[in-house]
Amino acid sequence: MSMQIAEKIKSSGVVGAGGGGFPTHIKAQSQVECVLVNGAECEPLIHKDVELMTHRCAEIVDGLRLLMDATGATRGIVGIKKKNSRAVQIFREALAGSELEVLELGDFYPAGDEYELVQLATGRLIPPGGIPLDVGCVVSNVETLFNVSRAAKSSPVTHKFVSVAGLVHEPKSFWVPIGTSYRDLIAFAGGTTQNNFVMLISGVLMGGITSDLDEVVTKTCAGLIVLPSDHYLVSRKNRSTEQMNRIGKSACDQCTACTEFCPRYLLGYDIQPHKVMRSLGFTTSGADYWNKFATYCCSCGLCTLYACPEDLFPREACEQAKNTMRATGNSYLQEKTPQVHSMKNYRRVPTKALLRRLRIAKYEVPTPFVDGFPVPKEVRVLMQQHAGKPAIPGVSVGAAVQNCDLLAEPEGSSLGARIHAPLSGKVSEVTKDHICIIVDAVAESGGKPV
Ligand code: SF4
Ligand code: SF4
């Protein structure tokens, strides 16, 4: 039975919907003690997970049970922020009398980091550089579990649940076919309230930035945050690497605030961004020594966007250091067993403080679940929507496809995920990067509520 679930998850193309895009069938093939449901949704302004938890609890719990079944897990724990009291209540009622548990989380960033979640739920610390599996856990996002539930009924991943927030007339959360353009998403949110805007993709702290409305939704897109082009965050995110390094080299006074607030450092891992900043002042040989202190960075962004009083870029310095280490074949292994820092509980960063620091408090509004996204005229389905290698297209220009038809799959046994047609229509373009479909408006009339 358990292998059958893993196979169904694989053939349905389910990947981590929380951002990582790791193929879920691999997790389903492991044997663990505990499946942890990540409903923390700690990125500010995006509330699609809490909307999904409030409206689709039954499917999420079904997905949790299926994943527990597949992995042989005896514990299932649902992590939800206490402040989302409606979702907490719904899950408490759904799980009452069962062996499954709700874990109420504080409103901190990054409550949804899997190292944090595993430690909070089980008291265990993942070994340095390891994954939850190393301590008998699998962590899965709520939407991923929703997709697992559908996969068990042989429904592939064709839609994505997203929030659109910020400078739009109607901030909301909704299902959208994969491959839909950001332009269509913004239109459904009532359009923007001003002309000069940019979009942060999937999150303020960890997401990317773009002004290209033709970019499209993938299996890991959490939504869009529309901000004015001259917003503080936009100027922070649009710095070139060269500028970041130049400012960092001259202005870092080694105050250590970036390290003191680093959530991974506070969990006991040897990550010290202030030391990594020293690498900026060295030639390659000197930098090697300092680069190693970036090894356990999870790119949460707290050091760059919250902790540093000089508005420098320690996160980006860590990312560069990790890339350099990979390219030069260097690695670092912490030998000391991690131990939670005595100040951990006092240095947590409340979401409210983060909202103020990032100057986005005024955009913090509900994004209610709304049905009825109109059928797009065209979708552009990307071949790289997941961890691993891009999928290989298996259809040709001119082919008629039905929704849920297989479009592309990983080559051989390489890590990746299958990709399916989100809507019915005719294939208009195929490249190694994407497949475009002109949607058959008649076949899809009225949209496709998921
Ligand atoms: S981004 Fe900064 S705060 Fe976050 S884990 Fe990396 S070094 Fe620590
Ligand atoms: S917080 Fe900023 S100034 Fe202080 S050590 Fe870190 S990067 Fe340097």
Q: Which ligand is nearest to the CA of 264?
A: 1
Nearest ligand, CA of residue 300? 1
pLDDT value of position 449: 46
Taking the mean position of all CA atoms in its chain, how far away is CA 426? 31
Instruction: Please tell me the number of the ligand nearest to residue 305's CA.
Output: 1
Closest CA to ligand 2's atom 4: 255
* C-alpha 274 – ligand 1 centre gap (Å): 10
Name the band, by pLDDT with cuts 50, 70 and 90, for residue 284.
low
Task: For ligand 1, say whether the CB of 376 is within 6 Å of any of its atoms.
Answer: no
Specify burial of residue 140 (Cβ count, 10 A radius: 0-12, 13-18, 19+).
buried
Give residue 311 CA to ligand 2 midpoint distance, Å. 8
394-428 residue pLDDT tens: 999 999 999 999 999 999 989 999 999 999 999 99
Distances (CA, A) of 158 to 12, 283, 330: 9, 48, 40
Domain 162-231+360-370: state its class.
alpha beta
Q: Tell me, using a 6 A CB cutoff, whether residue 311 lines ligand 2.
A: no
* Ligand 2 proximity of 262 Cβ (cutoff 6 Å): no
CA of 305 to the centre of ligand 1 (A): 10
Nearest CA to ligand 2 atom 8: 252
The pLDDT of residue 444 is 82
Number of H helices, E strands in the chain: 17, 18
Looking at domain 2-152, its CATH class is alpha beta
Q: What is the pLDDT of residues 36-64, one digit of tens each?
A: 999 999 999 999 999 999 999 999 999 99
Q: Locate the domains of the chain by residue range.
A: 2-152, 162-231+360-370, 241-348, 375-450
CA separation for the pair 366, 18 (Å, rounded): 19
Pocket flag, ligand 2, residue 343 (CB < 6 Å): no
CA gap 132, 18 in Å, rounded: 15
281 CA from centroid of ligand 2 (Å): 14
Cα(319) to ligand 1 centroid in Å equals 9
Share of the chain above pLDDT 90, in %: 93
pLDDT digits (tens, 9 = 90+) for 162-219: 999 999 999 999 999 999 999 999 999 999 999 999 999 999 999 999 999 999 999 9
Distance 210 CA to ligand 1 centre (A): 23
Tell me whether domains 2-152 and 162-231+360-370 share a fold. no
pLDDT tens-place string over residues 229-272: 999 999 999 999 999 999 999 999 999 999 999 999 999 999 99
Rounded-to-integer distance, Cα 189 and Cα 226, Å: 11
Report the sign of the C-alpha dihedral through residues 91, 93, 98, 103, in that order: positive
310 close to ligand 2 (CB < 6 Angstrom): yes
For residue 348, how far is its CA from the centre of ligand 1 (angstroms)? 13
d(CA 273, CA 294): 6
Instruction: Decide which of 2.40.50, 1.10.3210, 2.70.98, 2.60.40 is the CATH code for 375-450.
Output: 2.40.50
